[in-house]
Structure 1
Amino acid sequence: MAFRPRLGMATFFSLIIIGLFALGNWIMDRPGAEPEPMQWRATYEERLWAPLRDGNLTLADVVAVMGETGELWMISADGEPQLVSRHVIQSDDADWRMQAVISLDEQRMESLKQAQDWKADMADQSVSPAVAAALVGQPVERMSLMPFKPIETQRIIATLGEPDMRMEVSGDDQAWVYGRAGIVVAVTGEEAYSIMFGLRGNR
């Protein structure tokens, strides 16, 4: 009588799971497969993106959502002083830098420049927690979301849809404009490098 090894039930189900996993990867990787929308849009829609579009987002709101892990920085933007709140988030199996630009009136900005001894050619400077605490009620002008590694543009389209306008910047660089959502995406070739929220204008 020929000997026939029997396949254990645990091994049998393991092979089924492995097969289904491989099939799922093949479906996702095959040409024409639709990429999944990225989760950061839905995750922060109600507490960040919508209030920002409406002009109602403050630094306190950002801190409430992101926690105390962020820091305030005084930076130079095209030679002009700018106050930003920086954070790092994890979404869609990737790390992202999140930066919020804080709006200050002329008097507060001048006071901050003096306190930081700010000059246009200086490197980014951290702002003390005491100063940050005094500015929590200030409005947020705009926010940026920047992946540590570029994101394929197909994932941007899956998340935001086709842009209202694709503006040529230089070479392969483009700005994808989503006017109604108040979003601009910086694109080079087939990769996206940053997503800016808070575009103002007619929608």
Structure 2
Amino acid sequence: MSMPPLRMQHWLLFVVIAIAFFAWGGWLMRSTGSVEPLPGMVQWQQRILAPMADGKLSLEQLNAIEGGELWLKPRLDGPQLVFRSELEASGQRWKLEAILVLSPHERTSLMAATGLKPTDPEQPLSSAMLGEMGQHALATLALRPEQPTAAEQITASFGPPRLRLQLNEGEGWVYPMQGLTAQIENDHVRLLHVVPKSTLTQ
């Protein structure tokens, strides 16, 4: 027995089903596709973030990875020495800022030597001073992306956060064992903040 001929509405139904199938397949591929980790983060994790989390990263080591400048930042609660540089990987650039650990005596000596007041603007210091302070440890390190960076790349690089905190702007994703907190806003990375992990795991 021969099959009855297909009508036009049958062909249209097949076309609609085929389009829906391919659209669903495309969505499924996108939703299950792997997200790339942050460019350069594997290398930076080994050379910068892990030593920083262990409390073993010095100014000299950081400057050897990517040279930068040392700035004196007067403050009412005591001056800060701030190292500034930039990192780049696969066309993505990050501003780097690290604050040195200083003793009370060093803070007093710095202000006396420069003649600055707590309310004065920050000042760049010489490369000689950068060398003299090279053995100092770092209290905090911050990386700020200069281009839009998806929050998914944080989990691709470090895994799911141990803790999520609501901030005034966005969320803080906390990774205590890495000494890392990522500031996330509107599904984008605003800042990576690293401290010795002992300060997060106490």
TM-score surpassing 0.5?
yes
TM-score using structure 2 length: 0.76
Instruction: Name the structure 2 match of 1:58.
Output: 58
For the 8 Å contact 2:74–2:80, the answer to whether it is kept is yes
Partner of 2:4: none
Aligned twin of 1:132: 130
Q: Give 1:73-152 correspondences, 5 Å limit.
A: 73-75=71-73, 80-152=78-150
Task: Show CA shifts across 1:56-77 (max 9, x none).
Answer: 11111112222xx300012256
Aligned-pair distance for 1:201? 2.8
Partner secondary structure for residue 111 of structure 1: helix
Residue 175 of structure 1: aligned partner:
172
Q: Tell me which residue corresponds to 1:15.
A: none
Give per-residue Cα distances to partners, 1:11-57, cap 9 Å, x unaligned.
xxxxxxxxxxxxxxx99x94443210113321123322222122111
- Residue 152 of structure 1 aligns to a residue in which SS? coil
What amino acid maps onto 1:201 in structure 2?
A: L
Instruction: Provide the secondary structure at the position in 2 that maps to 1:180.
Output: helix
- Indicate how the Cα distance of structure 1 residues 113 and 202 shifts in structure 2: closer, same or farther if over 3 A, else same: same
Deviations 1:115-141 (A, max 9, x none): 333333333211122222211111112
Q: Which has the higher strand share?
A: 1
Runs of 5+ unmatched residues, structure 1? 1-25
Structure label with greater radius of gyration: 2
List aligned pairs for 1:174-193, cutoff 5 A: 174-193=171-190
The residue type paired with residue 183 of structure 1 is L
Q: How far did 1:86 drift?
A: 0.7
User: How far has the Cα of 1:80 moved from its partner?
Assistant: 4.3
Residue 151 of structure 1, CA deviation: 1.4
Give the corresponding residue for 1:41: 41
Q: Distance in 1 between matches of 2:118 and 2:148?
A: 29
Structure 1 range deviating more: 105-114 or 71-80 = 71-80
- Name the counterpart of 2:191: 194
Query: What do the CA deviations read for 1:78-126 (whole angstroms, capped 9, x no partner)?
Result: 8642111111111242111111211111111111122333333333211
CA distance in 2, matches of 1:117, 1:64: 30
- After superposition, give the CA deviation of every residue in 1:162-184 in whole Å (9 maximum; x if it has no partner): 111110112x5211111111100
- Is 2:156 the counterpart of 1:158? yes
- Whether the 8 Å contact between 1:75 and 1:124 is mirrored in structure 2 is yes
Contact kept in structure 2, 1:79 and 1:121, CA below 8 Å: no
Q: Against the structure 1 CA distance between its residues 135 and 94, is the aligned structure 2 distance closer, same or farther, given a 3 Å change threshold?
A: same
RMSD of the TM alignment (CA)? 2.4
Contact 2:39 2:92 in 1 (8 A): no
